[in-house]
Structure 1
């Protein structure tokens, strides 16, 4: 006697229940990540003016004697420090956010993928912070000093709106944070077999040209500012090649020749 055919409605119900459970878990993970950001923000909101002043320090230190920051929006003096504080809170709480993402996708990953994701995410976070620090301590003072030098012969007063400065700072942070992810991208491309180390060396001249094109688009139109982005980009590309050789080279399985196999 043959077994009865599976009930299609039961299978659909189980898949729908599984889908709903994933949605509920995703909602919970997003809520926990959001709560972490909000808790850090509430902890820092009292010092919002000080946090903005810390962000504006590279500009304030390089403004000419009569230069100053201005507010052109009625609510700008309140909302701009709040925006800066919220973004600082997000950066501080980012490990918690990344953990929630990891906890959601981890059950669907293989063991070797789990071993790859943890160091990949942690190194990406650290490199992004290094990129932001490089922009704050090196790029900002250099660019503002150059712009103040260009502005002096014009006899124009150098005054910057705090909202425009925030937009500029966030753009620079994002650009240099992404730039410092280049070694991770190179290692992934080699690990996934998209490119080989020999190919990466072969396209090096194109990378140099691309680095200067990107720096010309992102940074102010002076040679020094462009070099500040282009040179680290090329150095990070070379570091990515070295890291790919060390990491991927270790993971390559040893090839056993057929002649060395014992037929017994």
Structure 2
């Protein structure tokens, strides 16, 4: 029996329902974007520009390890990164874009909740019960991905790209938009990629993937993971390995999740 009222909703009623979910989602984004716009000092000076500063947590940790292990190469981002703005509207448009992006990131649990409320009436009662906690786990995975990119990938990327030189005659004076675009794309891409187990869960629920299929294409997934790591990280081996390892582990976790979904489905069929 469906977890909804007996009367079937028409196509237009579905569209109306979807419209209100989208309106509320955009409202959440707008509210958090306005807050990010107001508190720009925290968003820019503390958060976004943090990975480029010597006192950033990861930079201090790596420099401490460099001293303990006598490996100076581990100490990163000790020189201030020179940033500049070359467009008249550059700083203002960057401010707007970052505020919107911050709104999306902070509002993600609420956006996912709205999505869940929209599809929930179309699910069977058993499916709703077995999917409890989806919002919580999706939010946790997204947050872990964001923090992983912010504290691990971003400082390494800033150090590598900010100090890379084709010639000593060429100084790196980084454009503000380029810096923000690099850091924000890495952070957002990592948050989305860490949703892989949730994606596999829903795909296996509707029968589009199985644990055997995922195991069969495990080698292919490693190649895809390497390609994704090459896209969202600078072209150095350490950063790519740091991205690949969590994604491979998440894929393996997806196999376990798919196997669990299949096991519960077989038990339900056996009861019928």
Question: Which band: TM-score by shorter chain?
Answer: 0.7 to 0.9
**Are residues 1:110 and 2:124 paired?**
yes
How far 1:212 moved relative to its partner?
1.6
TM-aligned CA distance change 1:120 to 1:225, over 3 Å: same
Alignment of 1:4-153 (within 5 A): 18-53=10-45, 54-61=47-54, 63=77, 65=79, 67-151=81-165
Native 8 Å contact 1:40 1:92 kept in 2: yes
CA distance in 1, matches of 2:232, 2:113: 32
**Are residues 1:221 and 2:235 paired?**
yes
Native 8 Å contact 2:113 2:135 kept in 1: no
How far 1:172 moved relative to its partner?
1.1
Task: Identify which range, 148-157 or 214-223, moves more after superposition.
Answer: 148-157
Structure 1 segments unaligned to the other structure (5+ residues): 1-14, 257-264
How far 1:131 moved relative to its partner?
0.9
Task: Identify which range, 130-139 or 97-106, moves more after superposition.
Answer: 97-106
Native 8 Å contact 1:45 1:82 kept in 2: yes
TM-score by length of 1: 0.76
Task: Identify which range, 120-129 or 190-199, moves more after superposition.
Answer: 190-199
How far 1:65 moved relative to its partner?
3.4
| Aligned residues between the structures | 242
Structure 2 segments unaligned to the other structure (5+ residues): 1-7, 55-75
CA distance in 2, matches of 1:211, 1:175: 13
